[in-house]
């Protein structure tokens, strides 16, 4: 359960970093077509969370595009972190399974 919580916290943390980059430079990401189809009062927050989790899971639909070097760097770091997190969790589970199997 802790691993799921960790993954969700990573996604929300990267969503906050995406929001900070957008506050510093509003043209860092192309969210326009997503914002047009949503309620403006919630569109910004949902776009940050959406892009954070899509990038963390490396789905990469292509509907939100990082445009500045800072935004691209964050997108790269987010996707690498997401893949490394999953790999580390799987390695820990396999290690735990093998150690239990060898002790029996």
In the 3-class helix/strand/coil scheme, how is 65-81 assigned residue by residue? EECCHHHHHHHHHHHHH
- Which residues fall within 8 angstroms of residue 85, CB to CB, at 6 or more apart? 6, 7, 10
Q: What 3-state DSSP class applies to 40?
A: helix
Task: Write down all domains in the chain, each with its CATH number in brackets.
Answer: 2-103 (1.10.287.70)
Structure tokens at 61: 């639909």
pTM above 0.85, yes or no: no
Q: Quick one: tokens of 22?
A: 């957008």
DSSP reduced 3-state for 30: strand
Q: What is the per-residue pLDDT across 7-55, written as a single tens digit (0 to 9) for each?
A: 999 999 999 999 999 999 988 998 866 655 555 556 688 889 999 999 9
């Amino acid at each position: 359960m802790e691993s799921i919580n960790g993954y969700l916290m990573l996604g929300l943390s990267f969503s906050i970093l995406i929001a900070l980059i957008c506050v510093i430079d509003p043209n860092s990401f192309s969210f326009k077509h997503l914002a047009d189809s949503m309620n403006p009062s919630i569109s910004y927050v949902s776009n940050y969370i959406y892009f954070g989790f899509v990038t963390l899971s490396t789905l990469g639909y292509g509907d939100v595009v990082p445009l500045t070097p800072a935004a691209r760097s964050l997108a790269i770091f987010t996707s690498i972190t997401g893949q490394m997190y999953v790999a580390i969790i799987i390695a820990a589970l396999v290690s735990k399974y093998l150690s239990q199997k060898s002790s029996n």
